[in-house]
Amino acid sequence: MPVTEPILTKRIPTFPWGDPKNRKTISVDEYIATGGYQSLEKALSMTPAEVMAMVKDANLRGRGGAGFPCGLKWTFLPPPDGGRRYLCVNCDEAEPGTFKDRLLCDYDPHLILEGIAIACHACQLDTAYFFIRGEYHHQAKVVERAIQEAYAKGIFGKQGLLRGKSPFAVDCYLHRGAGAYICGEETGLLEAIEGRRGWPRLKPPFPAVKGLFGRPTIVNNVETLAAVCPIIEHGVAWWKSLGCESTVGGAPSYGPKLMGVSGHVTRPGVYEADLGITLRTLVETHCLGMRHGKRFKGAIAGGVSMGVLGADQYDCRMDFDIGRLGDVMGLGTACPTVFDEDTDMVAVARNIARFFKNESCGQCTPCREGSGWILKLITRIERGDATTKDLDLLLEIAGSMGLTPGTTICGLADGNNWAIRTLVNKYRSEFEARVKPYAVSMSGLQLAVARV
């Protein structure tokens, strides 16, 4: 069922329900006056296991990129042993094209904090770190103020959750990153909180078992945690009435989703839509169509890591089936960057290749070296200095790096792999037009024959 009223954007004016120019940061008093912290109150009237079961039944899938079922992840935690247990809130949001979590930080930070408190109750986690990327200076101030307000209202603090309504006490701290995309990867994020370089850790052990400071830890995206509040408030059946079922026998895509659209559209911005909406509807209805009436040429599916949707994929559905149906890695953050007919896709590939080369943390050879070679080859193609052989080499290098081929520690390399392969495959003629045919020189051939 389509989303007919704003849910995550209830207090954030957003088209078609409200005008973004009326947006302002919601203070704790306004938040409470408009029904805020009632989901927490309701959650505290249930046992942690009941809350966890609700989130699991709702099939809330992670909004940070991987789409992993949130409730299932929570069940991986070992039973409490009296030691510390952590929640790490992932607000690194450095995936190019993605700007949806910022909306919640800017205008409705208490929605995230309420989700944090509910998650801490459900999972019995006593300390939450709100990890926010360093470049979000303004957002860090807004969230810090909201955390202080929440302490003042007794949400967090020694007395126990919600003024001692539950004796279980939670502390919440802001922790700022310092400019490294890789710290969005969940174990890179743990290293960054521990004060070290953001080098992802080998898994297993998974964070739920051995995470921050070696203790059980849950890492969740900002939007995932915010979505927990309406699930508790309105119930599982309501949540499942939004979004769509899988058409390929996969897991369903329930609920609303924040979708940030950028690039060549008339009205870029963050929209709240139901999972399963087509890219065409999102662009034509929400974003008022392509800019200057140009034709749609393609779109990054949801952050550059996911790869590209081609000109013939405008009707593709934005849900968790997209990986299987759209020949991209997945839905990612559901934030498409749209390209019009005048876009040079080789330049797009070069831009993305540069991003991955800059952001590779350098631990794994295929990623560190591969990202450099991919950039070199695409730069050569863009300049017109490459041959068809370089194009093949490019695909070979890209296809060999990542968790899926099993050559790296983390998924950054898969992002590079998918972005480059889908761009070359879906716009092959554009790349071919830029390369010279590969010719073996006669003398070289004779030499080779002579050697045989």
Partner 1 sequence: MSWTTKPSATTKIARRAEPYCTAAMMSRWTSELLPRYATKHAALLPILHDLQHEYRHISYQAMIEVAAFLSIKPADVMDTVTFYEEFSTEPLGKCVIGICQSIACEVCGHKKLQDHVSARLGIKPHETTADGKFTLLALECLGSCDTAPVALFNETLHENLTIANIDALIDEAAKGGGGH
Radius of gyration of the chain (CA): 23
Q: Is 313 in the site for ligand FMN (CB under 6 A)?
A: no
Least Å distance between CB 218 and ligand SF4?
Answer: 21
**Which segment (108-116, 223-231, 364-372, 438-446) binds ligand SF4 by CB under 6 A?**
364-372
- Under the binding rule (CB under 6 A), the answer on residue 187 touching ligand SF4 is no
Q: Which of 3, 236, 348, 391 binds partner 1 (CB under 8 A)?
A: 348
Say how far apart CA 132 and CA 115 lie, in whole Å.
Answer: 16
**How far is the C-alpha of 219 from the C-alpha of 74, rounded, in Å?**
10
Rounded CA gap, 218 and 200, in Å?
16
Q: Which stretch binds partner 1 (CB under 8 A): 150-158, 275-283, 356-364, 435-443?
A: 356-364
Q: Is residue 346 within the footprint of ligand SF4 (CB under 6 A)?
A: no
* C-beta separation of 14 from 270 below 8 A: yes
Cα–Cα distance, 223 to 345 (Å, whole number) = 31
> Closest Cα partner for 434 from 395, 392, 384?
384
**Cα–Cα distance, 209 to 218 (Å, whole number):** 9
DSSP run (H or E) holding 397: helix 388-399
In the list 324, 368, 380, 389, the residue contacting ligand SF4 (rule: CB under 6 A) is: 368
- Tell me if 296 sits within 8 A of 264, measured CB to CB: no
Q: Are 129 and 123 in contact (CB under 8 A)?
A: no
Residue 418 near residue 407 (C-beta atoms within 8 A): no
63 contributes a contact to ligand FMN by CB under 6 A: yes
Pick from ligand SF4, partner 1, ligand FMN, none: which does 62 bind, CB < 5 to 8 A by kind?
ligand FMN
Q: Which one of the spans 3-11, 26-34, 168-176, 391-399 is the region binding partner 1 (CB under 8 A)?
A: 168-176
In eight-state DSSP terms, residue 362 is: S
364 binds ligand SF4 (CB under 6 A): yes
Q: And the tokens for 280?
A: 């065409």
Shortest CB 305 distance to ligand SF4, Å: 11
Q: How far is the CB of 260 from ligand FMN (least distance, A)?
A: 13
Query: Does 136 sit near partner 1 (CB under 8 A)?
Result: yes
- H helix or E strand, kind and range, residue 292: none
260 binds, among ligand FMN, partner 1, ligand SF4, none (CB under 5 to 8 A by kind): partner 1
Q: Taking CB under 6 A as the rule, does residue 375 contact ligand SF4?
A: no
Residue 182: CB minimum distance to ligand FMN, A: 6
Residues 156-195, interacting with ligand FMN (CB under 6 A): 182, 184-186
The answer to whether 62 contacts ligand FMN (rule: CB under 6 A) is yes
From the list ligand SF4, ligand FMN, partner 1, none, pick the one residue 364 interacts with, judged by a Cβ distance below 5 to 8 Å according to partner type.
Answer: ligand SF4
Distance CA 415, CA 305 (A): 4
Residue 274 pairs with which residues in a beta bridge?
256
Contacts of 390 (CB under 8 A, 6+ apart): 377, 380, 381, 435
SS3 sequence of 72-120 = HHHHCCCCCCCCCCEEEEEECCCCCCCCCHHHHHHHCHHHHHHHHHHHH
Nearest to 239 by CA among 15, 61, 76: 61
Q: Which residue is nearest to ligand SF4 (CB)?
A: 367
Taking the complex as a whole, the smallest distance from the CB of residue 347 to ligand FMN amounts, in Å, to 23
302 forms part of the interface with ligand FMN (CB under 6 A)? no
Q: How far apart are CA 106 and CA 258, in angstroms?
A: 14
359 binds partner 1 (CB under 8 A): yes
**Among 44, 111, 361, 420, which residue sits at the site for ligand SF4 (rule: CB under 6 A)?**
361
Residues that bind partner 1 in the complex, under the rule CB under 8 A: 84, 93-99, 101-102, 133-138, 171, 173, 175-182, 192-198, 212-213, 215, 260-264, 268-270, 300, 304, 335, 337, 339, 343, 347-348, 351-352, 354-355, 358-362
Applying CB under 6 A, which residues contact ligand SF4?
182, 200, 360-364, 367-368, 408-410, 412-413
Site residues for ligand FMN per CB under 6 A: 62-66, 68, 70, 90, 92-95, 182, 184-186, 219-221, 224, 410-412
